[in-house]
Structure 1
């Protein structure tokens, strides 16, 4: 977390929710001139809003925004974004936060999931694009201190009714990053699977409205109505505390509610 170094930060799903909050809070801690923040998302106007908010507080940063559809993104798309946003810059630290993700159709039971066209699109959005971006990131920053963050979830390690789609892709992503951590043993690469808890975002609203399991609907509704759901700001603050304490091993799954940082 020595963000006084020249830092390159790239965040997917940065137009709203947790991704946007991560971008804003981390950017405020990057101090070195020559540092770059790259925001990826589908909604370009919202990305521009996030950029303006960052520059208002950190005018020395360079901030890039790219609208990209992850369902169809290829390795070449990520390579071009990284080439364009890094330019001729020399960086001492590089951070990628794989935040983008979709919940999938929570109205379907696991036994009803089988349309391969839908599955191809869903896995490309949530798994294949993530792996492709990570590969390009590792190539570009092979000789730089790297922090690789996968936005994980309880659904990556425990089955949840109504979330056959979501559990599947999150489990796949978590295992991929655990393998990456196992293979990348050099001290210049640190991998974290961070589970941010239940957040009051559009994604949890969608689950509450569409899940087929009444118990899941009630769980989300009760937490929202009792205001016990976390905010994006709360979980981002906790995430930064986890990084600062750095008690985790590369590849670990760390949950917002873990007592020991």
Structure 2
């Protein structure tokens, strides 16, 4: 994580929430002239807000924004973005991709009630297929230079949570893909981290609290929100940066916000 080197940083879901905070905090630490930050999200106006904040903090950066619907995004879309936002991988000494974008799905249904394959195809495309396609193009584009690949994971990727069958299944599939990637692509050329950011006060947790069919899940989210024990995006981003700085994890590991940074 030597951000003094000429860096290419790409963050998905950068228009709000954790993605915006990650993009802003990492951009502050990029020092080398010629570095590039790429922001992907659904809302162009919100992406421009993120870009504006980044440029106030680090006006020397080149920041690109691309509005993209991950429900229909194809490999060709990601290849085009990577091509337009940089000249060649030889121009950079390090490349970082933060796979943050994701949706919680329909929490009003029990697992036994999930059977709409059209909905599932769109949901999996948004949360799994698009991340895999982007990662494929990222790895191809930046072959030969050190790469950091971060998947925003969750406790739901490794533990079942009532009301969240959609979310648990896509997060488990996505994390396993990145664990296989880490197995196949040796560190230090490729370093993979599955980071679980904890329970954050965001629109996603508001949706779960509002729509989940399980009263116990609703109560848990409500209690944490009302007691203000939910994490902020700034808190989990700070822990993420500490995890990267300490680098006590093995490539492909699942690291939770609550895990100690030091051994």
TM-score, structure 1 normalization: 0.99
CA shift for structure 1 position 260: 3.8
The equivalent of 1:206 in structure 2 is: 207
Q: Take 1:88 and 1:166, find their aligned partners in 2: how far apart are those partners?
A: 36
Map of 2:218 onto structure 1: 217
Q: Which residue of 2 aligns with 1:135?
A: 136
- Report what 1:80 is aligned to: 80
CA distance in 1, matches of 2:127, 2:187: 27
Looking at structure 2, the residues matched to 88 and 76 of structure 1 have their Cα atoms a distance apart, in angstroms, of 17
1:91-170 matches, cutoff 5 A: 91-170=92-171
Other-structure match for 2:183: 182
1:191 partnered with 2:192: yes
Cα deviation 1:198-244 (Å, max 9, x = unaligned): 00000000000000000000000000000000000000000000000
Q: Quick check: 25-34 or 185-194, which moved more? A: 185-194
Deviation, structure 1 residue 259: 2.0
What is the distance in 2 between the residues matched to 1:210 and 1:43? 24
Whole-Å Cα distance in 2 between the matches of residues 183 and 53 of structure 1?
37
SS of residue paired to 2:103: coil
Aligned: 1:17 with 2:17: yes
In structure 2, C-alpha distance between the alignment counterparts of 1:94 and 1:187, rounded to whole Å: 12
Instruction: Give the distance between the partners of 1:183 and 1:87, measured in 2 at CA.
Output: 27
Aligned to 1:171: 172
Tell me how far 1:187 sits from its aligned partner: 2.2
Equivalent residue pairs, number: 261
* Gap regions ≥5 residues in structure 1: none
Structure 2 counterpart of 1:5: 5
Cα contact 2:127–2:170 (8 A) shared by 1: yes
* Residues 185-194 or 96-105, more deviating: 185-194
Query: In 1, are the aligned partners of 2:6 and 2:94 still within 8 Å (CA)?
Result: yes
CA–CA distance in structure 2, aligned partners of residues 202 and 88 of structure 1: 37
Match of 2:255 in 1: 254
Matches of 1:260 and 1:3 in 2, distance apart? 20
State the secondary structure of the residue aligned to 2:101.
coil
* Distance in 2 (alpha carbons) for counterparts of 1:73 and 1:28: 29
CA offsets 1:70-96 (integer angstroms, 9 cap, x no match): 000000000000000013570000000
1:68 maps to what in 2? Answer: 68
SS in 2 for 1:86: coil
- For the 8 Å contact 2:242–2:261, the answer to whether it is kept is no
Q: Give CA deviations for 1:44-83 in whole Å, capped at 9, x if unaligned.
A: 0000010011001101100000000000000000000000
**Superposed structure 1 runs of 4+ greater than 3 Å apart:** none
Q: TM-score, normalised by structure 2?
A: 0.98
RMSD, aligned CA: 0.8
**8 Å contact 2:13–2:100 — kept in the other structure?**
yes
156-165 or 186-195: bigger deviation: 186-195
Q: Is the 8 A contact 2:187 2:251 kept in 1?
A: no
